[in-house]
Amino acid sequence: MLFEIIYLNNNTLNSDKEYMIINTYIHEDAPVKGHGLRLAVYQGKGPAGTMDAIGHNIAQMEQVVTAAGKFNAHLVSFPELYLSGYAITPATAHELAMEITGSTLTRVATIAKSHKMAIICPYPEKATVNDKTRYYDAIAIFSAEGLLLKNYRKTHLWGPDEKKIWSAGYERTEEGEAYTTFSINDFPVAVLNCYEAEFPELARILALKGAKLIVIPTAADESTILSTGKWTQTPYPDISKTLIPAHAYENSMFISYSNRCLEETLNGKTVGRYLGNSMVADPHGQLMVAAKNEVTLLLADCVPTDYGPTHPENTNYLVDRRPWLYNDLTETGKSD
């Protein structure tokens, strides 16, 4: 375990010298191909809702990737809607939304390629689907070669504002399949988005499809300003120490949570305050690394062979499932 402080000289919007805590749970050498993956999880703060904010967040991304590269990370993840910020109005979100093939995401792909590191980049997407312009709370995953591995659109939208701003992903055939895995360092990885961490069905689906690591960008807050101008009154539940470790345990996999911390600002005004509870859980349901509410880069080696069985005689939840008994039950409440 290593704790270290490094300084980020980010002068894009201000001249303040900012620092980042490094918190690691890693081996002497990074996992070899096919055996595991060294994951970096960035927990940060920053501006939202303007083109200047996007420029700041891109510059910050490159600094974070550079820092993760010093530890030979294979993959680095950023919080939900990292490029634009989370606490923005429907009009602003649509104004800033970008196409996956546009210049901003192309720059992210270039950063991935130049640093030889895969990047999970959450962003506001604008796309034409079924001959209609739609907006999605999306996550782009680029390989270390700068290739797009997956463009994931959030399927379970939280609260009133998300449903005002975004379309739910994968409701139309042309979008393809929602829950899929991709390979980084020859290791099967998948993503979910924020609120989706709380649905056990989703982690189970991805486990059945072979995922050994699920990375979950989030914007879990103490309070944010809604489009009505009012602040939310109840803090978001801290699932980082309850549901996420449980889902990791019941699926014998690694799951990470990549949140914001401290304050998010729009033109200098605070619009969100976040829990700063980023973490990585192992297949035994234990926390490998966890952040305090401060700017932090977590690093964890996700290596399944480091963990033995959790039950005697190779008892296994995935093998012992009897889905024909309860598949119909999981359809209850399905919308038309």
End-to-end CA separation in angstroms for the chain: 50
Q: pLDDT at position 106, please?
A: 98
Phi and psi (nearest 5°) for 18? -100, 155
Q: In terms of pTM, does the model score above 0.85?
A: yes
Is position 143 within any domain?
yes
Q: Partners of 140 in the beta sheet?
A: 121, 151
Q: pLDDT at position 336, please?
A: 40
**320 CB contacts (<8 Å, ≥6 apart)?**
none
* Calpha distance 169→272 (Å, rounded): 25
Q: Are 256 and 214 in contact (CB under 8 A)?
A: yes
Angle between helix 51-69 and helix 103-115 axes, rounded to 10 deg: 10
- Cβ of 50: how many Cβ atoms within 10 Å? 18
Q: pLDDT at position 328, please?
A: 79
Quote the number of domains for the chain: 1
**316 CB contacts (<8 Å, ≥6 apart)?**
252
Tokens 């290739």, residue? 147
Cα-Cα-Cα-Cα dihedral of 258, 80, 50, 159, to 10°?
-130
Is position 190 within any domain?
yes
The identity of residue 185, as a single letter, is N
pLDDT in tens, the chain (336 residues): 445 565 554 444 444 567 899 999 999 999 999 999 999 999 999 899 999 999 999 999 999 999 999 999 999 999 999 999 999 999 999 999 999 999 999 999 999 999 999 999 999 999 999 999 999 999 999 999 999 999 999 999 999 899 999 999 999 999 999 999 999 999 999 999 999 999 999 999 999 999 999 999 999 999 999 988 899 999 999 999 999 999 999 999 999 999 999 999 999 999 999 999 999 999 999 999 999 999 999 999 999 999 999 999 989 999 999 999 988 766 655 444
Coil/strand/helix, residue 126: strand
CATH at 270: 3.60.110.10
Start-end of H helices in 73-138? 90-96, 103-115
Side by side, the strands of the sheet bearing 269-275 are: 46-47, 261-266, 269-275, 221-224
Q: For 198-204, which contacts have Cβ atoms below 8 Å and span 24 or more sequence positions?
A: 198/239, 198/243, 199/156, 200/243, 200/247, 200/250, 201/330, 202/156, 203/247, 203/250, 203/251, 203/253, 203/255, 204/250, 204/251
- Cβ of 292: how many Cβ atoms within 10 Å? 13
Start-end of H helices in 9-147? 51-69, 90-96, 103-115
- Cβ of 18: how many Cβ atoms within 10 Å? 16
Side by side, the strands of the sheet bearing 187-191 are: 182-184, 187-191, 213-217, 254-258, 279-281, 287-290
* Calpha distance 201→207 (Å, rounded): 10
Is position 336 within any domain?
no
Residues spanned by the domain of 104:
2-331
Helix (H) or strand (E) holding 148: strand 148-153
